[in-house]
Homo-oligomer: A and B are copies of this chain.
Amino acid sequence: MNGNDGRGTSSRRISYSDLEKRQLVRGAKPGNRFVRVQPSQEFYRTGPGWLVPRPDVVEPKGLLGRLRRLIVGRPIPSALEVHERLNKIKGLAVLSSDAISSVAYGPEATMRILITAGLAYLSFTWPIAIAIALLIAIVAFSYRQTIKAYPSGGGSYIVASENLGPIPGLVAASSLLFDYILTVAVSIASGTAAITSLFPRLLPYTVEITVAAILFIMIVNLRGIRESGTVFTLPPYVFIVSVYVTILVGLYKLTLGGGIHYTPPPSAVHPGGRQFGLLLLLAAFSEGCSAMTGTEAIANGVPAFKPPEWRNARTTMSWMAIILATLVLGVGFLATHMHVLPATDETVLSQIGRSIFGPGPMWWVLQVSTALILVLAATTAFMDFPRLMSILAKDRYAPRVFQYRGDRLAFTSGIIALSVVAIVLELVFKGSVEKLIPLYAVGVFTSFTLSQAGMVVHWRRERERGWRRSAIINGVGAVITGIVTLIIGITKFTHGAWLVIVLVPVAVLTLWAIHKHYVRLETTRKTEIPMDPQQIRLRAVVPIRDLGVQAKQAVAFAQAITRQNAQVVAVHVEDDPQEAEELRKAWYRWNPEVELLIIESPYRSLLRPLLAYISALKETYPDDTVVVVLPEFVPSHWWEQLLHNQTALRIKAALLFYPGVVVANVPYHLEK
């Protein structure tokens, strides 16, 4: 994680980058004496017991290395990791594209539900927009508290697990994980929709486009991205501005400038005749709530801000909330009063833009910036998912692989895992926003609720000045988001939410099982070999086929590690009795001190009698450590492998499951 802080703490050491700066790495310099590797100038001691390898000896090599370099670029040393802090402007762009981009599908989702009850009910889009705007305000306000309390980054997982205990923490974590996955799926799908609204000819290739986009973002992320790059800063603002312009021009035309001429696209959805009622209204509202996904991003990323971090983050949070709320209100208002109809081939936002500006440059700008900000939203998910996975891995809730960073400082495994799952989703749901949305938001609001609730507990514990006020604010947030979670869960259940509601517990259980496994591993004390070298009594078994050099080497090694020859025995499993007999004679001519045992193999199996003998030996001397010294032949050409039936390998594999049996491979290389 925080490589540099680490280096900061241990003053005794000079870091790799320092060496590089002082150009010590390329050649020996006085004062940097080599450590136990005199001739080969490959390591530098940078402190008692600290070695730094010369970069060129540890750079990835070989075909695979080159291939990887081609795709993800040259590896970056940890030391060169950049920790550029974000000012408010950049912070807003980087951390809120996920939330703000949701405007592109949130209101539309509402309308798709309403229209199932009939045209008239579309007018509810506007009030629902208001409700959502309020919700945004509440959640944002509540998160401002979190930001202050967790300047080191208050992700729902951290807040929940610290204040509510591990299980709620895991629930928050897994809902977030699903949320991130869906952010990628939905954002990419909806970004594609923005493009296909521009070029309907691309419609048939929707799925292909989404998959390609995900793969592209995956590679970009594997190469590692500098969050502060302009590529991140520009599109969000272009999007925000163009949507504002759309809203303003729209409002103007609707009020003073004689109205807007709206022609619904041919693919406009036909109004359904569903019974209208509270449930439908709530359903519409739930769908709309997908507009709020990503709100927590700023609260997670406090440390990324320039100091004073928490203050900057807080302000940015407020800005984001205001922008998001106004956009939702604006789009909701226009959609309602322009009587826009949701369609299958064109997004609502695109329809609004087209009708207000006509199919001209402004409409294009709107569409393209929409697509871009949605891609950015996906990218942020690509940063959050692996980061959360690595935190979980560090806490031993996820497989270790997720903890390590790849050549380019990115969490390779997490990125790849995310892409795979997201691609699967796109394939299963044919890249349709409409079908994906119902899965969305449940996770988000679950984590909202848990982190707010966590905050309440936090305040009650800390009891700082004015803790009551904060507790109340978070309490309100918790209650309301809790209610919304329930609403979403119920109204969307049959439409796919059930999947998430089933998967979250499964995920929690899995994480928990993994944790138990690691803990068991770390806390166990039983050993198979005495911890005290003095107590280790060795018995070496050397399986041999003939008296070749490999065998002799292995026997010599066995004698070397067990000083007494009495504790070494060479074992030959008989295949041809005559050969065995000859081997016996040759053996005692060569090395009479070490005993050679010939085991008959009634069924001509080389492996079984040997294993039987070893386990018998182990039974006989339970306290001794049996070392099986395997002469291993390493061919110089691949095809030579075929000429040696891989007995050594099979013996190794089998012995893996014999407690207290050490396997030592004495290699023998046939030079080319």
Binding site for B on A (CB under 8 A): 1, 3, 5-7, 9-10, 15-16, 35-40, 42-43, 46, 49-53, 55, 57-60, 75-79, 399-401, 403-407, 409, 514, 517-518, 520-522, 524-533, 536, 538, 546, 548-549, 552-553, 556-557, 559-561, 569, 575-578, 581, 584, 595-606, 608-609, 612-613, 615-617, 619-620, 625, 627, 632-634, 640, 642-645, 652, 655-671
Closest CB in chain B relative to A595 CB, distance in Å: 7
Residue of B nearest to A640 (CB): B517
Closest CB in chain B relative to A390 CB, distance in Å: 11
In the complex the two chains form, is A657's CB within 8 Å of B634's CB?
yes
CA distance A521 to B575 in the complex (A): 20
Q: How many copies of this chain sit in the oligomeric assembly?
A: 2
Known: A399-B642, A521-B548. 20 other contacts (CB 8 A): A1-B576, A40-B620, A43-B599, A52-B599, A53-B600, A57-B612, A60-B603, A60-B608, A76-B603, A78-B603, A400-B643, A517-B643, A526-B549, A531-B556, A536-B556, A632-B656, A656-B667, A659-B669, A660-B667, A662-B664
Give chain B residues whose Cβ lies under 8 Å from the Cβ of A1: 576
Give chain B residues whose Cβ lies under 8 Å from the Cβ of A670: 520-521, 524
Give chain B residues whose Cβ lies under 8 Å from the Cβ of A406: 604
Give chain B residues whose Cβ lies under 8 Å from the Cβ of A525: 549
Give chain B residues whose Cβ lies under 8 Å from the Cβ of A58: 601-603, 605, 608-609, 612
In the complex the two chains form, is B3's CB within 8 Å of A53's CB?
no
Q: Which of B403, B560, B599, B657 is within 8 Å of A53, CB to CB?
A: B599
Q: Which of B38, B522, B529, B600 is within 8 Å of A557, CB to CB?
A: B529
Assuming the contacts A60-B605, A538-B560, A597-B51, asked whether A616 and B40 have C-beta atoms less than 8 A apart, the reply is yes
CA distance A609 to B43 in the complex (A): 10
User: What would 25 A/B residue contacts be, using CB atoms closer than 8 Å?
Assistant: A5-B578, A6-B576, A7-B577, A10-B581, A40-B620, A43-B613, A49-B597, A50-B598, A53-B612, A53-B613, A58-B605, A58-B609, A58-B612, A60-B603, A76-B603, A78-B601, A407-B604, A521-B633, A522-B546, A527-B552, A527-B553, A531-B552, A531-B556, A561-B561, A659-B667
Give chain B residues whose Cβ lies under 8 Å from the Cβ of A514: 643
Q: Which of B616, B625, B667 is within 8 Å of A658, CB to CB?
A: B667
Give chain B residues whose Cβ lies under 8 Å from the Cβ of A51: 597-600, 613
CA distance A561 to B562 in the complex (A): 7
CA distance A546 to B665 in the complex (A): 24
Closest CB in chain B relative to A7 CB, distance in Å: 6
Give chain B residues whose Cβ lies under 8 Å from the Cβ of A620: 36-40
In the complex the two chains form, is B548's CB within 8 Å of A529's CB?
no
In the complex the two chains form, is B533's CB within 8 Å of A556's CB?
yes
Closest CB in chain B relative to A560 CB, distance in Å: 4
In the complex the two chains form, is B584's CB within 8 Å of A49's CB?
yes
CA distance A517 to B599 in the complex (A): 28
Closest CB in chain B relative to A555 CB, distance in Å: 8
CA distance A576 to B77 in the complex (A): 13
Assuming the contacts A520-B670, A527-B549, A603-B58, asked whether A634 and B656 have C-beta atoms less than 8 A apart, the reply is yes
Give chain B residues whose Cβ lies under 8 Å from the Cβ of A556: 529-533, 536
Give chain B residues whose Cβ lies under 8 Å from the Cβ of A42: 612, 616
In the complex the two chains form, is B529's CB within 8 Å of A53's CB?
no
Assuming the contacts A553-B527, A616-B43, A634-B656, asked whether A404 and B560 have C-beta atoms less than 8 A apart, the reply is no
**Which 8 residue pairs of A and B lie closest in terms of their CB atoms, listed nearest first?**
A6-B577, A533-B559, A536-B560, A77-B602, A664-B664, A37-B616, A561-B561, A58-B608
Give chain B residues whose Cβ lies under 8 Å from the Cβ of A663: 664-665, 667
Give chain B residues whose Cβ lies under 8 Å from the Cβ of A553: 527-529, 531
Give chain B residues whose Cβ lies under 8 Å from the Cβ of A627: 664
Assuming the contacts A399-B643, A669-B528, asked whether A6 and B581 have C-beta atoms less than 8 A apart, the reply is yes
Residue of B nearest to A520 (CB): B670
Q: Which of B407, B522, B602 is within 8 Å of A16, CB to CB?
A: B602
